[in-house]
């Protein structure tokens, strides 16, 4: 089992790691999400507190927006796989990660195709 943490702000990946106001923690097994998902509101934005949460929750993968080099180096030193500079909605980004196609710096398009949000 592997845990993934997404840093969020209003269901979007937070633009910066240190500005996240909530996180989504998803447990996966064999590349698929299992029933265990946990959404947490944070008491305030703090990169140090987020790093502590990543360690406490035994997170294997972090998906975030921009992240300072110091925190990136700390997390990768602790063997956390970091996908940084990601832009997109939480569900779309998670789906792309589970498909194995998410890359650092990805701009993930809305896959729902609702029409209301599309520009054309």
CATH number of 86's domain: 3.30.420.130
Per the domain annotation, does 112 fall within a domain? no
Nearest-angstrom CA–CA distance, 118 and 26: 28
How far is Cα 116 from Cα 31, in angstroms, rounded to an integer? 31
Helix (H, G, I), strand (E, B) or coil at 114: coil
Determine contact, residues 8/21, Cβ cutoff 8 Å. yes
| Predicted local confidence at residue 110, as pLDDT | 83
pLDDT (tens place) for every residue of the chain, 120 residues total: 899 999 999 999 999 999 999 999 999 988 888 877 899 999 988 999 999 999 999 999 999 999 999 999 999 999 999 999 999 999 999 999 999 999 999 999 887 654 444 443
- Answer for the pair 14, 8: CB distance below 8 angstroms, yes or no: yes
- Asked, for residue 117, whether it belongs to a domain, the answer is no
> Do residues 75 and 56 lie in contact, with contact meaning Cβ atoms separated by under 8 Å?
no
Q: What are phi and psi of 101, to 5 degrees?
A: -110, 0
Q: Which domain holds residue 80?
A: 2-99
Q: What's this model's pTM, rounded to 2 decimal places?
A: 0.90
Evaluate whether residue 105 is within a structural domain. Answer: no
Q: Is residue 113 part of a domain?
A: no
Residue 23 counted as domain residue = yes
Number of domains in the chain: 1
């Amino acid at each position: 089992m592997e845990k993934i943490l997404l840093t969020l702000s209003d269901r979007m990946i937070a633009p910066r790691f240190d500005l996240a106001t909530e996180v989504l923690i998803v447990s996966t097994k064999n590349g698929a999400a299992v029933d265990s998902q946990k959404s947490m509101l944070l008491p305030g934005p703090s990169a140090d507190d987020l790093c502590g949460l990543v360690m406490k929750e035994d997170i294997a993968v972090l998906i975030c927006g921009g992240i300072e080099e110091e925190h990136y180096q700390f997390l990768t030193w602790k063997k956390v796989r970091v996908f940084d500079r990601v832009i997109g909605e939480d569900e779309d980004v998670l789906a792309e990660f589970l498909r194995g196609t998410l890359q650092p710096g990805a701009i993930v398009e809305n896959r729902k195709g609702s029409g209301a949000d599309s520009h054309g």
